[in-house]
Structure 1
Amino acid sequence: MIITLAGHVDHGKTAIVKALTGVDTDRLAEEQARGLTIDLGFAYTDFDGHRIGFVDVPGHHSFIHNMIAGVARMQHALLTVAADDGIMPQTEEHLQILQLLGLDGGTVVLNKVDNADENQLQRVETQLRDVLKQTFLRDAPIIKASAKTGLGISTLQKTLTDAASRMKRVPCSRAFRLPIDRVFSRQGLGTIVTGTVHDGEVNVGDDLYLSAIQKNVRVRRLIANGLPSQIARTGDRCGLQIAGVNTNEISRGDWLREPDTVNTSEAMTLQFELAVGFPREIKKWCHVHVYHGTAHRLGKLFLLDETLDHGTKGLVDISVDTPLHTAIGDRVIIRDQGLDTTIGGGTVIATTGANTRRRFPARIKHLTDTSESVNRTEPKQALIAACLMNCVDGEIFRKQWNLSQTQFNAVVDRNSIQQVNNRLLAKSKLDTTRKQVTSVLDEYHSVSPNQFGLSLRQLVKKTSLEEESVRFTLIHGRNIGLFQVQGGQFASARRAKVELSYNKDLYNRILPLIDTQQPLPIGDIARELRVPLRILESELKRMIKARLFVRVTDKRIFSENRLRELVDIAQALDESGPFTVKQFRDRCGMGRMICIDVLEHFDKVRFTQRELDTRRVVGTYAP
Structure 2
Amino acid sequence: MLIGTAGHIDHGKTTLVKALTGVDADRLPEEKARGITLDLGYAYTPLADGSVLGFVDVPGHEKLIHNMLAGATGIDFVLLVVAADDGPMPQTREHLELLDLLGLDHGAIALTKIDAVSPERLAEAQREVAALVAGTELSGSPVFAVSGRTGEGVAALRAHLDATAAALPRRPAAGRFRLAIDRCFSLAGIGTVVTGTAHAGTVGVGDIAILSPPGLKARVRSLHVQDRPARSGRAGERCALALTGDFEKKDVARGMWVVNGALAVPLARFQGEVRVPAGGQPLAHMQAVHVHLGTADILGRVALLDCKEAGPGEIALAEILLERETLALHGDRFILRDAGAQRTVAGGRVLDIFPPARHKRTPDRLALLDAMRADDPFIALRLLAEQATAGVDLDRFGVNWNLAEDEAVSLWQRVGLRVIRDGSASLGFTAAAWEALKTNLLETLAREHARAPDMIGVERERLRRMGAAKLSRAAFDAASAELLAANRIVPTRAWLHLPDHRASVSDADRARFAALKPLLDATPYNPPRVRDVARATGTPEEAVRQLFRRIARAGELYPVAHDHYFTAAAVAELAAIVRKLNEEAGGARVASLRDVIYGDGGGGRKVATQILEFFDRVGYTRRIRDDHLVRHEGAIPEWTPS
Alpha carbons of structure 1 residues 622 and 371: separation in structure 2 relative to 1, 3 Å: farther
Residue 328 (structure 1) shift: 2.1
- 2:400 is aligned to 400
Q: Matches of 2:169 and 2:30 in 1, distance apart?
A: 38
Pairs within 5 Å for 1:401-416: 401-405=401-405, 407-413=407-413, 416=416
Structure 2 gap ranges (5+): 536-540, 592-607, 625-631, 637-642
Q: Is the 8 A contact 2:548 2:557 kept in 1?
A: no
- 2:600 is aligned to none
Q: Is the 8 A contact 1:433 1:473 kept in 2?
A: no
Alpha carbons of structure 1 residues 86 and 473: separation in structure 2 relative to 1, 3 Å: same
**Which one of the candidate residues 386, 389, 394 is aligned to 2:387?**
389
- 2:639 is aligned to none
After superposition, the C-alpha distances for 1:488-546 in whole angstroms (9 at most, x for unaligned) are x99775543446899888998999579xxxxxxxxx99999999899879968985996
Q: Is the 8 A contact 1:544 1:551 kept in 2?
A: no
Q: Is the 8 A contact 1:335 1:342 kept in 2?
A: yes
Q: Matches of 1:56 and 1:161 in 2, distance apart?
A: 18
- 1:496 is aligned to 501
Q: Is the 8 A contact 1:567 1:621 kept in 2?
A: no
**Which one of the candidate residues 300, 313, 336 is aligned to 1:311?**
313
Pairs within 5 Å for 1:553-568: none
- 1:29 is aligned to 29
Q: Secondary structure at the match of 1:79?
A: strand
State which drifts further: 415-424 or 340-349.
415-424
Q: Is the 8 A contact 1:425 1:469 kept in 2?
A: no
Q: Matches of 1:568 and 1:179 in 2, distance apart?
A: 53
Q: Is the 8 A contact 1:144 1:152 kept in 2?
A: yes
Alpha carbons of structure 1 residues 166 and 550: separation in structure 2 relative to 1, 3 Å: farther
**Which one of the candidate residues 405, 408, 430 is aligned to 2:433?**
430
1:174 aligns with 2:169: no
State which drifts further: 300-309 or 347-356.
347-356
Q: Matches of 2:270 and 2:581 in 1, distance apart?
A: 35
Identity of aligned residues (%): 30
Residue 113 (structure 1) shift: 1.9
Q: Is the 8 A contact 1:486 1:545 kept in 2?
A: no
Matched residues, number: 571
Q: State the superposition RMSD in angstroms.
A: 4.7
Q: Secondary structure at the match of 1:480?
A: helix
Pairs within 5 Å for 1:154-193: 154-193=155-194
Residue 291 (structure 1) shift: 1.3
1:477 aligns with 2:476: no
Residue 16 (structure 1) shift: 0.9
Q: Secondary structure at the match of 1:260?
A: helix
- 1:365 is aligned to 364
Q: TM-score under structure 2 normalisation?
A: 0.76
Alpha carbons of structure 1 residues 442 and 530: separation in structure 2 relative to 1, 3 Å: closer
Alpha carbons of structure 1 residues 528 and 491: separation in structure 2 relative to 1, 3 Å: closer
Alpha carbons of structure 1 residues 259 and 445: separation in structure 2 relative to 1, 3 Å: closer
- 2:602 is aligned to none
Residue 323 (structure 1) shift: 0.8
Q: Is the 8 A contact 1:261 1:403 kept in 2?
A: no
Residue 121 (structure 1) shift: 2.9
Q: TM-score under structure 1 normalisation?
A: 0.78
Residue 102 (structure 1) shift: 3.0
- 1:272 is aligned to 274
Residue 76 (structure 1) shift: 1.1
Pairs within 5 Å for 1:605-620: none
- 1:581 is aligned to none
Pairs within 5 Å for 1:193-232: 193-232=194-233
- 1:18 is aligned to 18
Q: Matches of 2:160 and 2:573 in 1, distance apart?
A: 73
Residue 68 (structure 1) shift: 0.9
Residue 222 (structure 1) shift: 1.1
Q: Is the 8 A contact 1:290 1:334 kept in 2?
A: yes
Q: Secondary structure at the match of 2:300?
A: strand
- 1:248 is aligned to 250
Residue 58 (structure 1) shift: 0.8
- 2:338 is aligned to 336
Q: Is the 8 A contact 1:430 1:473 kept in 2?
A: no
Alpha carbons of structure 1 residues 222 and 508: separation in structure 2 relative to 1, 3 Å: farther
Q: Secondary structure at the match of 2:130?
A: helix
After superposition, the C-alpha distances for 1:287-335 in whole angstroms (9 at most, x for unaligned) are 1111111112111111112232322221111111111112222222111
Residue 200 (structure 1) shift: 0.5
- 1:3 is aligned to 3
1:117 aligns with 2:115: no
Q: Is the 8 A contact 1:434 1:473 kept in 2?
A: no
Give the number of the structure whose alpha-carbon radius of gyration is greater.
Answer: 2
Residue 173 (structure 1) shift: 1.9
Alpha carbons of structure 1 residues 125 and 425: separation in structure 2 relative to 1, 3 Å: same
- 1:236 is aligned to 237
